[in-house]
Structure 1
Amino acid sequence: MGCIVSKRAVNITVPETKQMHIEVNPPALKKSVNIYIITDSIQKYYEIKQNLGSGHFGQVKLGISKLGNQQKVAIKSVLKERVKEELQNLQRELTILKTVDHPNIIKLYEVFEDEKYIHIVMEICSGGELYDRIEKKGKFSEKEAAFLIYKLFHAINHLHISNIAHRDLKPENCLFDTKRDDAEVKLVDFGLASKFTKETGMSTVVGTPYYVAPEIINGHYGPECDIWSLGVILHTMLVGYPPFRGENKAEIFKKVLKAKYSLKEKEFETVSKEAKDFIKKLLNPDAKKRISAAEAMDDPWFTMMISSTIERPLDAEVVSRLHGFRANSKFQVEVMKILVQMLSENDIKNLKETFRKLDRGHIGFLSARDLEMGFVEIGLNATKNRIEEIIRETDFDRNGLISYTEFLAATLNLNIAMKPENLYATFKHFDVDNQGFFTKEQLKKSLEKTGLDITEGDVESMMGELKLKNPNHIDFKDFCSVIDSKNYKGTHVYNIPDPRQTEEKKQAK
């Protein structure tokens, strides 16, 4: 049976109200996030190709990086005239995307603006929507569904622990990075996502009728609404259609409000009792009694279906790299965070799986306790001092936890990461004027583009750590040496201008 769903979302404003919601324990996240807008022409950095689809605010096209590594990205171009009334919502979406950091949430790279458009550059997902896979397959096996839903719960718990609700979870907003059967799934389209606090709930009626929780229709809700939506998605994956169906929105809403659905239909005859019980926990009409994302990940159904994945041993090599990580400088750390974006999913597959395995709290961050248990598991030194040192070296945003990108930067296999094309593309991230070097001012500007709140004093300190012959700029050779002088070979591969021959250098003389 085909997937009977609609791609239309609703957004009806009702008076704001206050409501208590589930207790969450967010980490000490950054109080503010910088969204750096690049006013250069986007064509200077990317070749824009064919249309990939459309999002909440605009069309999405394929972009090919011009920095030397041919990196593919997704570019969402939003007509400013069209979103004039919704500019605040767009800013909120960008802020949320810069705040979150998770292997199953789409990554925002940078934002450009010209006279007509705002161009949002993101991680590309070329494998299509979960919606299309349900349509093609008809339904998923329980093991297939569990494998995907488990990752989505991990992503949602990361959002909730960061005090963010997605509010529009549906198969169309779950994309795959490749067309492979085992492709990574990513949550996308945060146009309706919202921050929340412990004291204040949400009241704007948003979402897509088939997937919307009853409390959203009533106008008083918290992040539990996302759990309901995942319950609907799981139901749809297992039998090919959603639990609440009707000829129109009013009819669907009526069934949602009554939580009127059946698990006794013919299609459920081959579905396990554990799966049905799990769906009931997710579709509990009482939001306060509904299972949380963290609790859901420990459900017996997952243990039964994907225990081999959940209980897989840690990758000792990856954990050992984390245990032995030493940051030569703050600059090296920031460069590695940028270099991570140049790598393919295949390059970081083991790192990603290890991160999930270490994250025993399913929050999308690694705590000191997570490190201790991971190190002990593979027989490494797990003293308090060493763990504190590792967190101090890797926790670049100083929230007391290691984020996903921080983990990747600390555990990269340099033999894979430091390919000439990756190094050069990372260098060009700073040398945007093609001078063959970059100055302190360009370093500050480039790091601000990543969302880092950095002062001139920070840059001076960063450059001072490097002990360069010329303390005022970094050329490609210096750049490579700073990252890893032992492993890097062949700075001659690219025809990079000698800084001493540039116009700026001549004028300086």
Structure 2
Amino acid sequence: MGVCFSTIKVSGSNSNNNVNHNRKEATKQQTKTTKATAPTRKKQEVVDHQQNNKNVNNEEEKKLKVKEKQVSKAIPCGKRTDFGYDKDFGMRYTIGKLLGHGQFGYTYVATDKANGDRVAVKRIEKNKMILPIAVEDVKREVKILRELTGHENVVQFYNALEDDSYVYIVMELCEGGELLDRILSKKDSRYTEKDAAVVVRQMLKVAAQCHLHGLVHRDMKPENFLFKSTKEDTHLKATDFGLSDFIKPGRKFQDIVGSAYYVAPEVLKRKSGPESDVWSIGVITYILLCGRRPFWDKTEDGIFKEVLKNKPDFRRKPWPTISTSARDFVNKLLVKDPRARLTAAQALSHPWVREGGSASEIPIDISVLSNMRQFVKYSRLKQFALRALASTINEEELADLKDQFDAIDVDKNGAISLEEMRQALAKDLPWKLKESRVLEILQAIDSNTDGLVDFNEFVAAALHVHQLEEHNSEKWQVRSQAAFEKFDIDRDGYITPEELRMHTGLRGSIDPLLEEADIDKDGKISLSEFRRLLRTASMSSRNVPGPSGQRKSQKI
């Protein structure tokens, strides 16, 4: 189903060789016999006649196959594809007024004949699906809508149907207009902070949900968010997943897609992932708060240069009157290094967005789950170092990780059990971990071996070390030194094998632990070597395999 490549092969025929071979044999026979009888000559003539007819038939067959291939090429891939969808659209829906149109089709208001409900129908013309990739794009969009349906901030998917000419995607009808239109209708084309935070929170929820499904939206912009109704407090709905794609953890997209004003730096560098959606939301947030784009130029190339090189301007009005918390939020979303950028789930824990929002609404962060999966692969020394670093961070700075801990700790008893760990890890859908792997992860994090993970143990495994350094380098220097001094008992600036043994309580040789961090091979660990250890994973964990079964990303 849905395979559209032209597979009619024009094969060469060996019949001419067979004819020549038969003729040679006939000649040989004649030279052996001084006088050929009439019946023999007649029989040979019949054979030759049959071979000539076979040759003619093969030539005709070749011409027919070439003609079939030409006809096949002339028919668009979409017309040759059975999508496997229901084929009774006309019996179930009545098409109404046009709502809008895109590259491949039109969106209409339609009526469900069974109950009279009004829906939106995206009608995609099969004739315009020339290549197989266009067919795959439509199938993927339907798959994405099916997976995300039920989320309050995603336009609801109802059905997919087809006939000889079109594919129909039936969805929830949103009549409140685009977010872009709402922005333009506001005074000075900007929102109040409170109203902006409500809008941004809904966009972040969509991004976080997509990322748990191993999905990147790739085109988040105000035009792709619709309001359910014209009411002020109506839900915001993400729509148009035409550029969206699935991605394996740890892998990167190498194509450039999206809209110029909202595209992330790493997209332009052809190394993008889920983080690019958060950048786009940062750009939208900047626009919501001040009515201007953070990166602007007259040309597309100029915009790209701005995105790659410049920082957003927080000096012009109205930014001096906007809260410090809002500026901090936007700054942390518009970090050019995707590793230091807040994740969608982290951003939902930020005080500016969270005000008025409930912690229970915060989804599990894919980066936290990734960090926990990684922790089990770290060397013992790095695990000890991360625990020491975690103990230097105050409660206020751990607000986002507290939200994540509470989200995983379903029974709210202050500890994560094996079953709660399993349920949390299972929410990262691209990963299909075996029960034994879940137990292995819990045991690696559970430093006191009581079978449970408390908050302090959780923090050590879930920390975003790169963010700590990038967000405040001075504080990182102080914090990493404080962690180092938990090992450096005599404060001589080095961690010796004896100090390492005292801190870890390990018996036997300490040499294997030293080897990873002791870069200059002087038999001890300096502060700079310790910091390097915190920044990097051990050699055994650099290539964490991704889950199998996902298709490669395709350029659109």
Q: TM-score range by the shorter chain?
A: 0.5 to 0.7
1:116 aligns with 2:168: no
* Amino acid in structure 1 at the alignment position of 2:161: F
Partner of 1:126: 175
Partner of 2:224: 173
Aligned-pair CA distance for 1:113: 0.8
How well do the aligned residues superpose, as a CA RMSD in angstroms?
3.3
* Residue among 52, 56, 72 paired with 2:118: 72
Aligned-pair CA distance for 1:207: 0.4
1:262 aligns with 2:313: yes
* Amino acid in structure 2 at the alignment position of 1:46: Y
Partner of 1:281: 332
Q: Distance in 2 between matches of 1:57 and 1:190?
A: 14
Q: Distance in 1 between matches of 2:182 and 2:173?
A: 18
Could you tell me whether the CA contact under 8 Å between 1:255 and 1:261 is conserved in 2? no
Cα distance change, pair 367–260 in 1 and its aligned pair in 2 (3 A) = closer
Aligned-pair CA distance for 1:361: 5.0
Partner of 1:205: helix, strand, or coil?
A: coil
* Amino acid in structure 1 at the alignment position of 2:285: L
Partner of 2:240: helix, strand, or coil?
A: coil
Partner of 1:190: 241
Cα distance change, pair 228–50 in 1 and its aligned pair in 2 (3 A) = same
1:210 aligns with 2:256: no
Partner of 1:45: 92
* Residue among 129, 132, 135 paired with 1:87: 135
1:157 aligns with 2:204: no
* Amino acid in structure 2 at the alignment position of 1:248: T
Q: Distance in 1 between matches of 2:167 and 2:147?
A: 19
Q: Distance in 1 between matches of 2:126 and 2:333?
A: 39
Q: Distance in 1 between matches of 2:123 and 2:146?
A: 18
Q: Which runs of 5+ in 1 are unaligned?
A: 1-34, 314-359, 377-383, 388-398, 401-509
Cα distance change, pair 125–67 in 1 and its aligned pair in 2 (3 A) = same
Cα distance change, pair 56–178 in 1 and its aligned pair in 2 (3 A) = farther
**1:407-464 CA-partner distances (Å, limit 9, x unpaired):** xxxxxxxxxxxxxxxxxxxxxxxxxxxxxxxxxxxxxxxxxxxxxxxxxxxxxxxxxx
Aligned-pair CA distance for 1:200: 1.9
Q: Distance in 1 between matches of 2:323 and 2:329?
A: 10
Q: Distance in 1 between matches of 2:205 and 2:112?
A: 31
Could you tell me whether the CA contact under 8 Å between 1:56 and 1:191 is conserved in 2? no
Aligned-pair CA distance for 1:178: 0.4
Identical-residue share of aligned pairs (%):
35
Could you tell me whether the CA contact under 8 Å between 2:360 and 2:407 is conserved in 1? no
Partner of 2:152: helix, strand, or coil?
A: coil
Q: Distance in 2 between matches of 1:271 and 1:109?
A: 41
Partner of 1:97: 145
Partner of 1:159: helix, strand, or coil?
A: helix
Indicate the structure whose relative CO is greater, using CA pairs within 8 Å and at least 6 residues apart. 1
Q: Distance in 1 between matches of 2:109 and 2:240?
A: 16
Aligned-pair CA distance for 1:84: 2.6
Partner of 1:248: 299
* Amino acid in structure 2 at the alignment position of 1:74: A
* Amino acid in structure 2 at the alignment position of 1:205: I
Aligned-pair CA distance for 1:367: 7.8
Could you tell me whether the CA contact under 8 Å between 2:93 and 2:112 is conserved in 1? yes
Could you tell me whether the CA contact under 8 Å between 2:219 and 2:259 is conserved in 1? yes
Could you tell me whether the CA contact under 8 Å between 1:52 and 1:61 is conserved in 2? yes
Instruction: Trace 1:332-481 onto structure 2 (pairs within 5 A).
Output: 369-370=409-410, 372-373=411-412
Partner of 1:250: helix, strand, or coil?
A: helix
Q: Distance in 2 between matches of 1:214 and 1:93?
A: 25
Aligned-pair CA distance for 1:130: 0.2
Cα distance change, pair 72–300 in 1 and its aligned pair in 2 (3 A) = same
* Amino acid in structure 1 at the alignment position of 2:93: Y
Q: Which has the higher helix share?
A: 2
1:107 aligns with 2:156: yes
* Amino acid in structure 2 at the alignment position of 1:288: R
Partner of 1:84: helix, strand, or coil?
A: coil
TM-score after normalising by structure 2: 0.50
Question: What is the aligned residue count?
Answer: 299
Could you tell me whether the CA contact under 8 Å between 2:98 and 2:109 is conserved in 1? yes
Partner of 2:289: helix, strand, or coil?
A: helix
* Amino acid in structure 1 at the alignment position of 2:169: I
Partner of 1:207: helix, strand, or coil?
A: coil
Segment of structure 1 superposing worse, 83-92 or 173-182:
83-92
Could you tell me whether the CA contact under 8 Å between 2:224 and 2:239 is conserved in 1? yes
Aligned-pair CA distance for 1:48: 1.1
Could you tell me whether the CA contact under 8 Å between 2:254 and 2:271 is conserved in 1? yes
Partner of 1:76: helix, strand, or coil?
A: strand
Aligned-pair CA distance for 1:75: 0.1
Partner of 1:396: none
Cα distance change, pair 140–273 in 1 and its aligned pair in 2 (3 A) = same
Aligned-pair CA distance for 1:71: 1.4
Could you tell me whether the CA contact under 8 Å between 1:36 and 1:111 is conserved in 2? no
| Greater Rg over alpha carbons, structure | 2
Partner of 2:342: helix, strand, or coil?
A: coil
Cα distance change, pair 71–263 in 1 and its aligned pair in 2 (3 A) = same
